[in-house]
Every structure is written in structure tokens, then in C-alpha cells.
């Protein structure tokens, strides 16, 4: 698909390896749609006659005109070949035949198309036959193109342009060059080629698609509407983009801040084209923490500390600096607390399904308190750089308050952290006193990430118990036991079935945080094991393609697990927070090449059997050629670092001035 044209190309190359001359036919085939998926399924039975499909002999092309009067714009579509068409078809019924199927159309089996047009509409297709005669050893090349424009003249020009195979080859190289430029900010040579392939190519590509295409998909919306950009999800989707496509990440951050209310709350979903928020899921309790994480990532990547002083208006409010936007969002979360001094859940926190358990609006979220502490740590760092002592003091005080509250008897269950605490005497979610939902993974991993659990005591204990109770051969369950009824087993079940997604499935988004937590504890073997468990290329191969089902190059949202009868099956590929966090965790915590405010931190946490690895990392305009050696076979720990042969103090590489690249050697031990 060329970067500048609305066209899809098939570059076909055929070589005759036989000893005799061959005379064959190549058939190409597409089905035309109504150009909007919802209309296709709803209105096909009568709107199909609002189309016209004809063959243009001067262009050797099938032309499809969709002219339903309610639809705008009306694209003009052309299906063409660079070689002369020997025959064509515009009617799916005649192309397939009475007993044919798409994998064996009767017209193909018969060796010729019907030359049938559909000027009055019907089941419109484009099918072309190209006849090929080749001597022994001879080869040929031709291009099939599917292109469109709002005007026939421009669509025809597009078809003519790609009748030249050399043009298609040139455009293919331009596409390769574009994606090479996108992914080369981080390229690695690893002992694990499957992990290397995902980190170098498919994960960043998946990040781009998710960033550009992911919209809110719920029981209220299909995700096909024009709106649906989410402050929470889009903030996380932007995290890897701060290095992969910095300008896009900056633009998205500025957009998200424009949909923050003067109170500090962010609208959950908004339509940037209409300039207004959506009317479903108006707020979420955790909306305010995620932009802080992404802003810290952006400033760490770029060193653009002036960004923090950028002024943006609140939605229907006054201007404020980005620093003040962030502080206001965290103060808003901290202003609503319950009996354990933890933040209250307003409708929903990160786990959308917990809204089902809402009783009186006074429920406390343990995870939200942990997210708040982590956000305060990052904001406190940025405020210190900006000499905003008022914000830094608020962050320091909030970290102390929340850390104390998070280790109180109402939160710590004895061996792990609870999840959701009611205002009355009913057992908390994530409590051993419950019959279902005794333990949740989110609060164990964020106890470590936030630093609110003692790393020598509760941090290790809760992660060990998570492995013991939630661990499976495919990954960590989100909770255990899965709910068979809500709120109690004898009640009706709402939302996902047991063992699926948030109801005790292996929810890959939170599984990435388990990887991050284990690297922070220095347990590289376990972190590496968890990381590989949900790599799509590994999961597809080890579980079997017919079990895993999803693509081996795009992250899935969930793995189904017991008590569901389809353990190992993956669900909903491409559009998941897993995409951003797997890239973030893989590059910055497992491989340990992490931008911080002061420079580039080198802090690997790898499996003990790795002898080392290499990374080329572009950072603040300089290519860092990093070689990591692990002679002692440790999981974590850096003995010393040299930059261009000179040792440095500590593990943070300061920003380099006056050089295009530097050589970095890291010795672990």
C-alpha cells in the first residue's frame, strides 16, 4: 500500500521452472463492499442495487460505483491489471457458479470468466483473467491494483500509474524505507530471536496501528464512530510513541489535556473532530494518572522541560500549565477517600468490570491508590526540575500518606493486597474471606511498581503468592477464583464468562505489569518467562495455531483459561493496552534501556543464561550503540559502563553533545 495513494497493490511474479513452454491463466478476485461495515450487514439486501459494476476495455479494469444517496462521500473504485485482461466478471454468482466456493470458483475451474457486468447492481465483485505464456526458464511480472478516489478521472489516473511494475517496486521500497525509519529508534540483537523479532519490528508496528486506529469499543459503542478517543487508553498508547514518533505523541498529549475539566477530572472519551466529550462513561476514577506517566516519558525522551510550562485551557475553563494540569488531576483523585484513607472509585477504575460491584459509591480502590503513588513519584521529579516546590511537596506528602494507608490491616490480607474495599462489613474483593475473587493480580504488581510494598518483605511475598495462585502455563490469571455469579456464586452472572478477560482470564495488559514488577525485584528469569508467555509468535507456535487462533505478529488482549473449556485460545488482537506496555516493558525494563529525566538509564534485568546482547538506541538525536556483556550470568546489576571507552559514574548516560553516535559497553555483575 503506497504511502501517498489510496491503492492496494499485488506485485505478481511468475517463473517457468519446467522444461517445456507453459500457457496458464492467473485469476484475481475481490468483493466490493458498501465501504462502511455497519451498512454492509444491515442494508445489503436492498442497497446492493444502488451500485454499478462495469468493465472498461480501454483501461482493462473493473469499475465499481457505489451511489447510495444517503452516503457521502461516494468513492469511485477501480480494480485493474497491468497486463491485458483476457476475460472479466463483475457478478459474484457467475464467478463462483452454482456449486463453487471462493477457494474453487467454477469459472476458474472452467478456465474462463463470464464477461458479465452488473450495471444495475447486485453482488458486485471484480475478477480478471491474465493469460501467461512462458518459455522454459522465462519469467514475467504484472501488477494488480485496487484503488479509489472521489472522482473517476483521478481514480483512472491511479490505475494507469500502477500499470508500470517498476512504479510499484519503487513505491514498495518507499514503504520499506518509511517503516525502517519508524522502527530504527530501537533495534536489538538478542539470544532469543523470537523476542528480537517482536521488539524490533512487529511490536512497534502494532504500536503504530493501535495508536492511530484504536477507539472506544464497549457495549455502548462499536468503535466505528468518529469519536471514541479515550484519555486513559490513548495516554498509554502514546507511551511507546514518545520514541517511535515523538511529534505524534506530543500532539496526542496536548489533545488529551484539552479534555480535562477544571476540577482535574478527565473526560473518559471524546470526539476531537466535534471538539466535545462523548456521553457514555463520562468519567473514570483512574483517568488522571495515565497522562502523568506519558508526560514523564515524553520529557525523559526529549529533554524538553519547557513542555511542562506549556499552557492549555481546561475544557470550558481557564488556561493552566501542563504541570498544573497534572497536579490538579492527582489532587482530584486524592480529594475523595474512604474509611481506609484510600481513593474512592467513581463508577470505574482501571478494571472496568468492577463497576458491577458498586453499592453506595463509597468503595475504595487499592489499585487506584497505588497508581496515585506512582504518578506522584513521577510528577514530583518533574516538579523538582521545574522548581515548583508546592507541587513537589504535595507529591511527597501524598506518597507518604498512601504508602501508610496501603499497608494497613484493611488492605493487606496477610499474604497479598486486596483490591476493592466496601464501606460496610462485606468481605473486600481480593480477600481470602470471599468465595470467589479471593485474589487479584493488579494490586500485587502495582504494590511493587509503586514502591509501596517493602521489596524485602511484602513485595516478594505478594508476587510469589500471585505465581502460586494465579499462575498457569499460559500466563497469570487476572483473578482467582473466577466469578460464576455476581456478587455471590448463587447470583446471576454479569459480563464475561468465567476464565475470560477480566473474569479470571489471562488479561495480557496486567500480565505485562507482572513482568515489570519482577524486573524491579531483580528476578530476570521469572520476568523473561512471563514475557515470553504472551509473545504472539511464541504462543501461536507452542500452543498450536488452531488453539491460539490469532495472528502471530499482533498482541492479543486475553488468553482464555480454566474454567473455560478453551484454554490457550487468544482473544481480540491488535487493539489492547498490551501492545504499548509490552514494548515499554520489553525495551525499558527487561533490556533495561530506559530514558529518565537526567539521560539514558542502563538497568537490564535479563534471564541468567543470557551471555549478553546489543541494542542500537537513538536518544535525543544521538545513536547509542550499546553492548551488554553478562560474564557472571546474573539477572540484574551493572558493574561498570564505558562510553567511547571512558568509564562513567553510575548507570545513567548523560545527554551527548556534538556527536552523532557513541559506543556504550555495559558489564553486568
Contact 366, 411 (CB under 8 A): yes
Residue-wise pLDDT tens digits, 499-546 = 999 999 999 999 999 999 999 999 999 999 999 999 999 999 999 999
Residue-wise pLDDT tens digits, 182-240 = 999 999 999 999 999 999 999 999 999 999 887 766 655 555 555 678 899 999 999 99
- pLDDT number for residue 456: 86
Lowest average pLDDT, out of 3-17, 40-54, 251-265, 316-330, goes to 40-54
Contact 339, 488 (CB under 8 A): no
- pLDDT number for residue 269: 87
pTM comes to 0.92
Residue-wise pLDDT tens digits, 614-666 = 999 999 999 999 999 999 999 999 999 999 999 999 999 999 999 999 999 99
Return the DSSP state at 221: -
Confidence of residue 284 (pLDDT cuts 50, 70, 90): confident
Confidence of residue 79 (pLDDT cuts 50, 70, 90): very high
Who wins on pLDDT, 359 or 416? 416
Q: Which fold has domain 7-183?
A: Beta-galactosidase; Chain A, domain 5 (2.70.98)
Confidence of residue 381 (pLDDT cuts 50, 70, 90): very high
Give the mean pLDDT of 463-488: 97
Confidence of residue 575 (pLDDT cuts 50, 70, 90): confident
Contact 498, 504 (CB under 8 A): yes
CA distance 448 to 470: 17
- CB contact set of 516 (below 8 Å; sequence gap of 6+): 445, 449, 527, 581, 585, 589
Contact 82, 163 (CB under 8 A): yes
Contact 325, 311 (CB under 8 A): no
Give the mean pLDDT of 131-147: 96
Could you write out the DSSP letters of every residue in 583-611?
Answer: HHHIIIIIS-EEEETTEEEE--B--TT--
CA distance 105 to 93: 10
Q: Look up the CATH architecture of domain 591-668.
A: Sandwich (2.60)
- pLDDT number for residue 420: 95
Contact 280, 220 (CB under 8 A): yes
Q: In CATH terms, are 7-183 and 591-668 the same topology? A: no
Three-state DSSP at 653 gives: strand
In Å, how far are 212, 300, 378, 584 from 243, measured between CA atoms? 15, 10, 18, 10
Listed by start position, the domains of the chain span 7-183, 591-668
CA dihedral 617, 623, 624, 627 (to 10 degrees): 80
Give the mean pLDDT of 64-80: 86
- pLDDT number for residue 48: 86
Average per-residue pLDDT in the chain?
Answer: 94
Give the mean pLDDT of 413-421: 97
Confidence of residue 279 (pLDDT cuts 50, 70, 90): low
For residue 249 the three cell numbers come to 505523541
CA distance 60 to 83: 8
Contact 87, 112 (CB under 8 A): yes
- pLDDT number for residue 54: 98
Amino acid at each position: 500500500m503506497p504511502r501517498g495513494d489510496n491503492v492496494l497493490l499485488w506485485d505478481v511474479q511468475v517463473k517457468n521452472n519446467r522444461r517445456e513452454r507453459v500457457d496458464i491463466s492467473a485469476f484475481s478476485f475481490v468483493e466490493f463492499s458498501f465501504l462502511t461495515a455497519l451498512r454492509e450487514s444491515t442494508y445489503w439486501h436492498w442497497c446492493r442495487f444502488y451500485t454499478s459494476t462495469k468493465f472498461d476495455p480501454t483501461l482493462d479494469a473493473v469499475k465499481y460505483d457505489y451511489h447510495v444517496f444517503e452516503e457521502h462521500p461516494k468513492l469511485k473504485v477501480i480494480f485493474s491489471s497491468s497486463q491485458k485482461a483476457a476475460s472479466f466478471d463483475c457478478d459474484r454468482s457467475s464467478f463462483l457458479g452454482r456449486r463453487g466456493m471462493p477457494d474453487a470458483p467454477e469459472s476458474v475451474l472452467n478456465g474462463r470468466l463470464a464477461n458479465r457486468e452488473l450495471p444495475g447492481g447486485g453482488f458486485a465483485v471484480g475478477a480478471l483473467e491474465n493469460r501467461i505464456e512462458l518459455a522454459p526458464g522465462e519469467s514475467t511480472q504484472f501488477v494488480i491494483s485496487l484503488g479509489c478516489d472521489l472522482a473517476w478521472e483521478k481514480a483512472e489516473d491511479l490505475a494507469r500509474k500502477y500499470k508500470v511494475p517498476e512504479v510499484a517496486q519503487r513505491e514498495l521500497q518507499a514503504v520499506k524505507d518509511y517503516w525502517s525509519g519508524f522502527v530504527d529508534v530501537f533495534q536489538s540483537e538478542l539470544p532469543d530471536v523470537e523476542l528480537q523479532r517482536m521488539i524490533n519490528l512487529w511490536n512497534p508496528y502494532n504500536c503504530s496501528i493501535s495508536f492511530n486506529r484504536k477507539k472506544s469499543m464497549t457495549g455502548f459503542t462499536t468503535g466505528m464512530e468518529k469519536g471514541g478517543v479515550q484519555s486513559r487508553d490513548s495516554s498509554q498508547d502514546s507511551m511507546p510513541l514518545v520514541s517511535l514518533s515523538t511529534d505524534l505523541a506530543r500532539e496526542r498529549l496536548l489533545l488529551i489535556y484539552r479534555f480535562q475539566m477544571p476540577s482535574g477530572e478527565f473526560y473518559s472519551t471524546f470526539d476531537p473532530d466535534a471538539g466535545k466529550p462523548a456521553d457514555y462513561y463520562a468519567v473514570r476514577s483512574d483517568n488522571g494518572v495515565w497522562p502523568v506517566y506519558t508526560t514523564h516519558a515524553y520529557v525523559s525522551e526529549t529533554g524538553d522541560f519547557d513542555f511542562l510550562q506549556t499552557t492549555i485551557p481546561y475544557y470550558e475553563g481557564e488556561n493552566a500549565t501542563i504541570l498544573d494540569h497534572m497536579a490538579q488531576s492527582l489532587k482530584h483523585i486524592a480529594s475523595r477517600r474512604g474509611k481506609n484513607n484510600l481513593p474512592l472509585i467513581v463508577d470505574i477504575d482501571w478494571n472496568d468490570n468492577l463497576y458491577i460491584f458498586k453499592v453506595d459509591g463509597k468503595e475504595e480502590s487499592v489499585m487506584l491508590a497505588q497508581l496515585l503513588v506512582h504518578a506522584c513519584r513521577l510528577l514530583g521529579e518533574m516538579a523538582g526540575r521545574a522548581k515548583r516546590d508546592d507541587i513537589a511537596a504535595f507529591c511527597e506528602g501524598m506518597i507518604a500518606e498512601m504508602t501508610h494507608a496501603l499497608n494497613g490491616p484493611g488492605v493487606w490480607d496477610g499474604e497479598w493486597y486486596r483490591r476493592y474495599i466496601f464501606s460496610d462489613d462485606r468481605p473486600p474483593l481480593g480477600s481470602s474471606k470471599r468465595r470467589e475473587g479471593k485474589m487479584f493480580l493488579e494490586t500485587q504488581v502495582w504494590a511493587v511498581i509503586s514502591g509501596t510494598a517493602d521489596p524485602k518483605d511484602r513485595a516478594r511475598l505478594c508476587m510469589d503468592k500471585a505465581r502460586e495462585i494465579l499462575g498457569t502455563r499460559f500466563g497469570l490469571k487476572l483473578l482467582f477464583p473466577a466469578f460464576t455469579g455476581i456478587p455471590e456464586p448463587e447470583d446471576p452472572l454479569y459480563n464475561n464468562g468465567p476464565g475470560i478477560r477480566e473474569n479470571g482470564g489471562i488479561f495480557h495488559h496486567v500480565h505485562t505489569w507482572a513482568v515489570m514488577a519482577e524486573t524491579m525485584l531483580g528476578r530476570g528469569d521469572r520476568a523473561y518467562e512471563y514475557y515470553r508467555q504472551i509473545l504472539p509468535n511464541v504462543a501461536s507456535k507452542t500452543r498450536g495455531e488452531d488453539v491460539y487462533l490469532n495472528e502471530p505478529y499482533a498482541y492479543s488482549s486475553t488468553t482464555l483459561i480454566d474454567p473455560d473449556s478453551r484454554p490457550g485460545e487468544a482473544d481480540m488482537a491488535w487493539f489492547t493496552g498490551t501492545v504499548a506496555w509490552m514494548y515499554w516493558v520489553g525495551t525499558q525494563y527487561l533490556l533495561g534501556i530506559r530514558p529518565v529525566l537526567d539521560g539514558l538509564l542502563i538497568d537490564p534485568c535479563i534471564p541468567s543464561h543470557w551471555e549478553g546482547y546489543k541494542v542500537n538506541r537513538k536518544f535525543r538525536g544521538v545513536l547509542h550503540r550499546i553492548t551488554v556483556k553478562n560474564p557472571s550470568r546474573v539477572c540484574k546489576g551493572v558493574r561498570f559502563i564505558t562510553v567511547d571507552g571512558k568509564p562513567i559514574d553510575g548507570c545513567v548516560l548523560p545527554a551527548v553533545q556534538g556527536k552523532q553516535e557513541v559506543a556504550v559497553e555495559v558489564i553486568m555483575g
